[in-house]
Amino acid sequence: MASILLTVVVFHQLRTLSRLPSSAAGSSATASLHQSTVAVSSPVVGQSDLYQQGFSRQVAQLRRLYQSAPKLSVEALMDREAAEADSYASKMFASLDPPTQYRIDADPTNFGDRFEQDVNEKPLQNKLLVVLHETASAASSAVNAVLTPHPRDEDQISYHAVIRLNGEILYLVDPDKRAYGAGNSAFKGASGVETVQTNKNLKSSVNNFAYHISLETPADGYHQHPEHSGYSAAQYMALAWLIARSGVSDDRITTHEAVDRSGERQDPRRFDMAWLQKDLALNRTEVFLGGANLP
């Protein structure tokens, strides 16, 4: 019963926050919906195209992390949250050491295949894109929403990973799969506007080439206002650690707010891109010098 109540609360919170006006200062948290589980294009297969080789290599590196993480139940996660409730300091420290990582597999209705062609059978050549979100709730509530079956397209929701306030990484969706993190979306990059339509009944989005990461929102952000106290140092360092090991370049890191075309999404609120860039430089140096184990 507690699990059901948590799911209802976070789903209501996500739907409510999505209605914040785009003129509001900062950005509000919500996950995009409106993605289909119906495969109407061809699933990804091996291609010789250089774009696909690079994409597949980055996905493979992220998959190794996902597959090697020990599994955790949402009940165990809730117990951890309760035990940490009085330990504010545990959420503040950052380290170059690998973050603690767990795997909690999302319900199959909340993710689908990546495709090698769009609905018009045009070959796809997008590079991997990291899209940042926030949970608008405790991590366990966001995880509960992803674990809950959502047969209807308009209810489906997921991220590939959630990063807790203490820097722990929770992997939810296999990087080889398409998470439903940003419906009706497009990325404006160096090569122009990128968006892919994989179902003629739905608007195009970045989901086919995106890796969605959501940051756990601090407790003072469980509301529909545009501000909160921001993310922890441990979260920024864990995020940088994960991105550095994917091989994704700086120009392929963006936010849900930036790719959204509805004008409703504002997350992640209070995100400091300069802080991430600083931590990314440290982690990439660590990887380059061999001080960190690549997957």
191 CB neighbour count, 10 Å cutoff: 10
Percentage of the chain modeled with pLDDT above 90? 65
**How, if at all, do strands 192-194 and 161-163 pair?**
unpaired
CA distance 169 to 171: 6
Q: Using the CB atoms, write b or e for 10-31: b if 16+ within 10 Å.
A: bbebbeebbebeeeeebbbbbb
9-13, 234-238, 245-249, 262-266: least confidently modelled range: 9-13
**Cβ–Cβ < 8 Å for 182, 206:** yes
- The CATH topology of domain 2-288 is Lysozyme-like (3.40.80)
Each residue of 198-221: pLDDT tens digit?
A: 999 899 999 999 999 999 999 999
Residue 5, pLDDT > 50, answer no
pLDDT of residue 291: 53
Each residue of 114-173: pLDDT tens digit?
A: 999 999 999 999 999 999 999 999 999 999 999 999 988 878 889 999 999 999 999 999
| Averaged pLDDT for residues 45-66 | 77
| Structure tokens given for 202 | 């739905």
45 CB neighbour count, 10 Å cutoff: 8
Q: What is the mean pLDDT of the chain?
A: 83
31-35, 103-107, 235-239, 267-271: least confidently modelled range: 31-35
| Structure tokens given for 283 | 């982690």
**Cβ–Cβ < 8 Å for 231, 271:** yes
- In the numeric block, the tokens 């989901």 are attached to 207
CA distance 24 to 267: 12
CA distance 202 to 214: 23
| Averaged pLDDT for residues 21-28 | 34
Residue 9, pLDDT > 80, answer no
End-to-end Cα distance, the chain? 38
- In the numeric block, the tokens 């767990």 are attached to 102
pLDDT of residue 92: 61
Residue 51, pLDDT > 80, answer no
Strand 161-163: give its sheet, edge to edge. 101-103, 169-171, 161-163, 210-215, 129-134, 253-255
CA distance 257 to 266: 5
Residue 292, pLDDT > 80, answer no
pLDDT of residue 1: 43
Q: Where are the domains of the chain?
A: 2-288
